[in-house]
């Protein structure tokens, strides 16, 4: 196991030699607890290693060039992710889990929903949601309370995804127990023993789980979400309601002859809901955390934000928001140090010979790209645990190993949406508040070892001081 002060990558406990790829894998003895950067020591020995996740062998690709080969150049041999889905539960069938031609068809349909033009259409509704944060943050500032930042930002991103994607008002600030906030928390944070058992079955015994029709989404979440979407679509169709949100675009696609069933709409809407609120909330939270620790950077960023508002008559247009350079650098550096999706998955779909070697990767082999480990590797980033937005000063300079949104034809489809949402949240906060560290946050932050999405073992609290 590799340990360091911030990361404990539990899976590596099981490093050994998977039978399937015996010639590939070297037993790594020289793991070094003093190394502070995740998986990097392996680079000194080999660029591809094997690990067991439970009983399942995986290949871990450590050389960024090999990563690009898998994700981009020879993508056709590594199209799938191998994530469990079961058709009897529509919330499990979506872009992340779909495979082969089914995924390709869906990806083509949804690409048109995430263009810059569509983002602009959603901008005003999202901006409105960002201002919903202010009364709650004002109250905390006035009373000098600690703010649970991830929870607060997740309310904003849930409101925003609700409004721009599902076309529903979530009111997460007016009502802390709002239905969608509850659903969001439930799906990512609340698992009964039964839910854990089901999840375990779908990961380690997927064939049996399929036969038993087990889902990896909690049944109550699936039931409630499916009902909300079904009712909303039916209501809109019956009343001829045309809205510019994402659901409206799906209904339009469906009615323009593109084949799309209600189950398909439910699955994709569910994914966009979960992917849309959580990863952006983590990115915004971690940028604020770093800015609280780096007051100089915070002042510099606030200057940029305030002068952008001033230049636009105290408003923020889509173009002016997206044009702020240092804001972009700060977010990109957060995505490097704290990538919300810590590893990327692929499955080899046809026997594949690795270029320049005799290595054959067999069809069915599961691949992991350890994004977090690479982003913190001192071979790629000097002083990797230092948060330094100046690394991203030159936008044209290609970074050696940077994959926060994956890469290639199956990269994150919501990238533009995410940047817009994170920029908006940060600009709104920095214009109104000075953000300070709180003694309530235990440091250093520790990444939770068991989760696929970035989570911490403690809550992130900060203090907000009103500026004017
Ligand atoms: C900062 C925020 C986000 C981060 C860091 C992020 C990261 C990622 C990563 C690493 C992947 C896997 C890429 C790969 O396998 O190569 C992914 C896939 C995906 N993301 Fe995001 N994501 C973010 C926000 C969003 C948002 C806002 C949405 C939708 C509203 C979204 C929708 C998706 C979808 C649908 C996929 C699967 C794409 C496919 O398989 O075709 N993501 N994301």
Domain CATH code at residue 324: 1.10.630.10
Please check whether residue 101 lies inside any domain of the structure. Answer: no
Nearest CA to ligand 1 atom 21: 412
Measured from CB, residues less than 6 Å from any atom of ligand 1 are 71, 95-96, 107, 271-272, 275-276, 279-280, 283, 335, 340-341, 344, 404-407, 410-414, 417-418
> To test the ligand 1 pocket, which listed residue (69, 81, 405, 421) has its Cβ within 8 A of the most ligand atoms?
405
Alpha-helix runs per DSSP H in 1-115? 64-68, 100-111
Please check whether residue 108 lies inside any domain of the structure. Answer: no
How many domains, the chain?
1
Ligand 1 atom closest to the CA of 276, numbered from 1? 27
pLDDT score recorded for residue 67 = 94
Residue 149 backbone phi and psi in degrees, to 5: -70, -45
- Taking only the tens place, the pLDDT of each residue in 53-97 is 767 788 889 889 999 999 999 999 999 999 999 999 999 999 999
Residue 86, SS3? coil
CA 97 to CA 215: how far, in whole Å? 13
Please check whether residue 242 lies inside any domain of the structure. Answer: yes
C-alpha to C-alpha distances, 276 to 72, 226, 262, nearest whole angstrom: 24, 17, 20
Nearest CA to ligand 1 atom 11: 412
Alpha-helix runs per DSSP H in 32-167? 64-68, 100-111, 116-131, 133-142, 149-161
Mean pLDDT for the stretch of residues 7-20: 30
349: tokens are 């779909």
Please check whether residue 104 lies inside any domain of the structure. Answer: no
Ligand 1 atom closest to the CA of 345, numbered from 1? 15
pLDDT score recorded for residue 6 = 31
**Better-predicted residue by pLDDT, 286 or 12:** 286
C-alpha to C-alpha distances, 178 to 34, 51, 164, 174, 203, nearest whole angstrom: 45, 41, 17, 8, 31
pLDDT score recorded for residue 468 = 78
Q: Based on the number of CB atoms within 10 Å of its own CB, is 306 exposed (0-12), middle (13-18) or buried (19 or more)?
A: middle
User: Can you give the pTM of this predicted structure?
Assistant: 0.89
pLDDT score recorded for residue 46 = 58
Nearest CA to ligand 1 atom 29: 414
- Give the number of other Cβ atoms within 10 Å of residue 396's Cβ: 4
Residue 56 backbone phi and psi in degrees, to 5: -100, 115
Please check whether residue 102 lies inside any domain of the structure. Answer: no
Share of the chain above pLDDT 90, in %: 60
> To test the ligand 1 pocket, which listed residue (158, 246, 336, 412) has its Cβ within 8 A of the most ligand atoms?
412
Please check whether residue 107 lies inside any domain of the structure. Answer: no
Residue 422: which domain range? 2-96+113-466
Task: Flag whether 348 is marked binding.
Answer: no
Please check whether residue 103 lies inside any domain of the structure. Answer: no
- Taking only the tens place, the pLDDT of each residue in 18-51 is 332 222 232 222 223 333 333 433 434 457 777 7
């Amino acid at each position: 196991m590799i340990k360091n002060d911030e990361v404990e990558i539990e899976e590596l406990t099981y490093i050994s030699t998977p039978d399937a790829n015996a010639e590939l894998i070297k037993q790594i003895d020289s793991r070094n607890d003093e190394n502070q950067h995740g998986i990097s020591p392996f680079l000194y020995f080999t660029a591809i290693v094997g690990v067991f996740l439970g009983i399942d062998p995986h290949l871990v690709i450590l050389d960024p060039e090999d990563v690009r080969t898998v994700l981009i150049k020879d993508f056709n041999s590594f199209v799938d992710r191998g994530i469990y889905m079961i058709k009897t539960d529509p919330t499990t069938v979506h872009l992340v889990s779909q495979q082969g031609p089914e995924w390709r068809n869906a990806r083509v349909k949804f690409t048109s929903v995430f263009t810059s033009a569509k983002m602009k259409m959603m901008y005003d509704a999202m901006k409105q949601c960002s201002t919903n944060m202010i009364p709650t943050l004002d109250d905390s500032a006035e009373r000098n309370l600690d703010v649970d930042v991830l929870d607060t930002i997740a309310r904003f991103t849930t409101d925003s995804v609700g409004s721009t994607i599902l076309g529903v008002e979530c009111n997460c600030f007016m009502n802390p127990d709002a239905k969608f906030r509850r659903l969001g928390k439930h799906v990512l944070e609340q698992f009964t023993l039964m839910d854990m058992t089901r999840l375990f079955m779908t990961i380690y015994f997927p064939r049996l789980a399929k036969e038993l029709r087990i889902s990896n989404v909690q049944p109550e979440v699936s039931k409630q979400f499916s009902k909300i979407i079904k009712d909303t679509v039916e209501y809109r169709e019956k009343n001829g309601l045309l809205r510019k949100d994402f659901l409206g675009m799906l209904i339009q696609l469906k009615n323009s002859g593109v084949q799309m069933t209600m189950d398909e709409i439910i699955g994709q809407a569910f994914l966009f809901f979960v992917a849309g609120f959580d990863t952006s909330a983590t990115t915004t939270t971690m940028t604020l955390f770093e800015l609280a620790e780096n007051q100089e950077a915070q002042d510099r960023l606030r200057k940029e934000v305030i002068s952008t508002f001033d230049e636009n008559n105290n408003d923020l247009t889509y173009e002016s928001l997206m044009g702020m350079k240092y804001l972009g650098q700060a977010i990109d550096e957060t995505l490097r140090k704290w990538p919300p999706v810590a590893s990327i998955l692929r499955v080899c779909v046809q026997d594949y010979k690795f270029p320049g070697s005799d290595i054959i990767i067999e069809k069915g082999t599961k691949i992991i790209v350890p994004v977090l480990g690479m982003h913190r590797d001192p071979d790629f980033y000097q002083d990797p645990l230092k948060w330094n937005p100046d690394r991203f000063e030159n936008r044209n300079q290609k970074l050696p190993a940077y994959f926060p949104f994956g890469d290639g034809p199956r990269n994150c489809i919501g990238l533009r949406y995410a940047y817009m949402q994170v920029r908006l949240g940060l600009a709104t906060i920095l214009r109104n508040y000075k953000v300070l560290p709180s003694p309530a946050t235990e440091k250093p932050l520790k990444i939770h070892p068991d989760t696929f999405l970035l989570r911490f073992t403690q809550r992130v609290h900060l203090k907000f001081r009103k500026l004017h």
